[in-house]
Copies of this chain bind each other. A is one copy, B any other.
């Protein structure tokens, strides 16, 4: 899919067909994610891949959007490696760029995804479930699968003229 089209037609997908995401597709998503830019090229992102239903269920209990994780055959937990971090604000932005690459790659290749941020309310519990070392800090969990039904992401965006606050 054309880049400009993918950027504008991507929406959150919250319901998925049951079939698993093939292993090569999972690698491809994470490969796209790792091509994000980062300050000093420090690449502070790390990933945990979750397909096992019992682990997805444990994650689902950490968020009020658990039904999305129960529907998705794949969850990717994205972490900031604080040991690789050099500037927290820039690293958070870099992780956002990494997440966007993952979402765009999914959409452009026929998968659907939903960026779950509310689960950060249970950050420590998620880190415990996934057994990550203390220097990894949860940034988001992305639910991924083949979309079922319509996409329900919010297509509303502020008009561009409201976002451009100055011109020189």
Contact = CB atoms under 8 A, between A and B. Distances in A.
A145 B117 CA distance: 34
Interface string A94-123: 111111110111011100000101001000
B47 A105 contact: no
Interface in A111-140: 115, 117, 120, 130-133, 136, 139-140
Interface string A75-89: 000010000000101
Contact of A168 (B4, B50, B117, B157): B50
Interface of A: 1-4, 6-8, 10, 12, 27-28, 30-32, 34-37, 39, 41, 43, 45-52, 55, 79, 87, 89-90, 92-101, 103-105, 107-109, 115, 117, 120, 130-133, 136, 139-140, 153-154, 156-158, 160, 163-168
30 contacts: A2-B2, A3-B107, A4-B28, A7-B105, A8-B31, A10-B35, A10-B37, A12-B37, A30-B160, A30-B164, A34-B163, A37-B115, A39-B117, A43-B157, A43-B158, A47-B163, A48-B165, A48-B167, A49-B164, A49-B166, A49-B168, A89-B92, A92-B92, A93-B93, A93-B117, A93-B139, A95-B96, A96-B96, A104-B104, A136-B165
